[in-house]
Structure 1
Amino acid sequence: MISGAVWSALSQPAAPQPAPAPQSAQQAAAQEYIQETMAATSRSGRSAVARATAYNSLSGQTDSTPHITATGTRTRPGVVALSRDLLRSFPYGSRVTLQDLSGRYNFGNRVFIVEDTMAARKTGSIDIWMGSYRDAMNFGARQVRITAVR
């Protein structure tokens, strides 16, 4: 009896859909944001909330090789360092996106790569490499969501 009802419901032609109403610029922008978010969500994996700071290649902020990461590559834009506890979830080579939870800093759709580590005393932290001391200082410290990109 149920299968007959399902069959009859599925075999009926679909009702015609009305034409979409014209959108305002704000509605179009909101729709585009939703589509981008859905696309990013479909390609994302595990995530964590961490304290984010920035660093650059000064010997006072790094070890004796300020321009070389823990993986042996040179520092450059897009490189991040993680505390050792976060390296368990996001190992070297992981590609991640960042979202500033305060909403003050926009990372856009930029993808970062985990290539460096922080001092052993740091936990729950991420350091973003920046090209200048001024940029690193202006970034300050903030809470971010780190999400792995599949």
Structure 2
Amino acid sequence: MPGLYYDQFQVGQVFKHPIRRTITEADNVWFSAMTHNPSYLHLDEEYCHNETEFGQRLVNSCFTLALMVGISVGDTVLGTAVANLGWDDVRFPKPLFHGDTVRVESEVLEMRESKSRPGEGIVIFAHRAFNQNGELVAHCKRSSLMRKTPA
């Protein structure tokens, strides 16, 4: 499903994305290895069981961020984004573990026309990720440069 053009968004618009994802051990280990992150928190079950309050490995927070934003793409910016301009206020209030299922919602917080690029505008989204228990596990603001509807 293609994304929306800049002028099709409205401040306050909320997307409850239909895609959900159960996180596997392979997701976490592969992502951590691919990004050269050797943290024991993601890779060493024995360490996490004996040395942390969690008792098990945590899902890499960079994977959580990427998954949260990735799930939002189809409903919002697929084929209509020019560029991702950045993330702000990235937070992980609760950890994710192998076997947790993530659902995501996005809200349009702000919009403004691009001053330097006619035919484009900036949309600021709030993305929120929840686990299977409805607990907020991640949130961020994302700025995206978007195309306007072609003339």
TM-score, shorter chain, exceeding 0.5: no
Q: Which has the higher strand share?
A: 2
Decide which structure has the larger Cα Rg and report it.
1
TM-score by length of 2: 0.25
TM-score by length of 1: 0.25
